[in-house]
Amino acid sequence: MPLMTAPLPPGSCNAHCHVFGPRERFAYAADAPFVPEHDAPREALYALNDRLGLTRCVVVQSACHGFDNRVTQHAIDGRPRDYRGVALLRPDVPDTELRRLDAAGFRGVRFNYMSHLGAGAPLPQVRALTGRLAPLGWHVQIHGDTRLLTDVAPALRASPVPVVIDHIGRIDAGLGPQQPAFHQLQALLDAPTFWVKVSGIDRITRQGPPYDDAVPFAARLVAEFGDRVVWGNDWPHPNHAGPLPDDDQLVAALQRMAPSAAALRRLLVDNPQRLYRFDQ
């Protein structure tokens, strides 16, 4: 498949990636569910985004660093105008810490419900936290397998803040568009509070690149819920089964996810601006 032949729109955002280390400065958590073999510091992320034409970026705190969000803040600090963060926090985090992180460029908090990342936060506590996030204009980001779509996300329908579902809900692309999990994801997105990241085509595919089985799911979500979709490459691709994806191929798939200039701009520029508030 040919790679992107036209440049990305000005202000395009990589809305989902991570930084690891350097471990000499930012130690991995003692109880980390995984420890990367190699560090992936902010300088490597900057270089990759610059080469790909992704001038804005949202760094998502990784479970390998736990609740110590300094590594993500370090990545934001290097490019404070164009980089934002999503934190990992306990639901009982003090309001003073929320305000500090907001001033530092954080715009949301992620909760993991993937079994390999440990037990997820109790839903009543997450729901209680959303009320404290609302004055900040933050959102909740949730990550889990397809059980998330039936057991976790529906409990957040009444959230006063946006709820962002990671990686196309981790559906199995090999099961086709009529699978119940995809219908459940679409039903959630009928509620205006829900957003979805059309990242992770490399995680839901059964075929591998150029991800012909996975791209149609992302394309359908972009077509149906175009004002509540964002995209990221998930660099440096932690806990990935099989060979690591080629970031150029992931960017090339964007032209099939969002085939019109207007759709691509909404996905990469307009929607991230609304959700992450780069101008504040």
In this model, does residue 279 exceed pLDDT 90? no
Looking at 102, 166, 202, 234, which residue is catalytic? 234
Tokens matching residue 180: 């119940």
Q: Give dist(CA 49, CA 33) in Å, integer.
A: 27
232: nearest Cα among 251, 218, 211: 251
Between the alpha carbon of residue 140 and those of residues 165, 181, 210, 257, 270, the distances in Å are 9, 21, 31, 24, 19
Q: Is 234 a catalytic residue?
A: yes
Binned at pLDDT 50, 70 and 90, residue 1 comes out as: very low
Q: Per-residue pLDDT averaged across 112-129, rounded? A: 84
* Residue 243: per-residue pLDDT: 85
Q: Is residue 233 over pLDDT 80? A: yes
pLDDT tens for residues 17-38? 999 999 999 999 999 989 999 9
**Which two tokens mark 240?**
């990935």
- Exposure string of 157-182, with b = 16+ CB inside 10 Å and e = fewer, is eebebbbbbbbbbbbbbeeeeebebb
Tens-digit pLDDT profile for residues 45-101:
999 999 999 999 999 999 999 999 999 999 999 999 999 999 999 999 999 999 999
Alpha carbons 236 and 47: distance in angstroms, whole number: 13
Give the domains, in start order, of the chain with CATH numbers: 13-276 (3.20.20.140)
pLDDT, residue 137, reads 98
Q: Is the per-residue pLDDT at 120 higher than 90?
A: no
pTM of the model: 0.95
Q: Convert the pLDDT of each residue in 237-264 to its tens digit.
A: 998 877 899 999 999 999 999 999 999 9
| Alpha carbons 199 and 234: distance in angstroms, whole number | 7
Q: How confident is the model at residue 118 (pLDDT cuts 50, 70, 90)?
A: low
pLDDT at 4 over 80: no
**Alpha-carbon span 117 to 127, nearest angstrom:** 21
Q: Mapping DSSP to helix (H, G, I), strand (E, B) and coil, where does residue 30 land?
A: coil
Q: What is the band of 5 on the pLDDT scale with cuts at 50, 70, 90? A: low
- Split at pLDDT 50, 70, 90, the class of 226 is very high
pLDDT mean across residues, the chain: 95
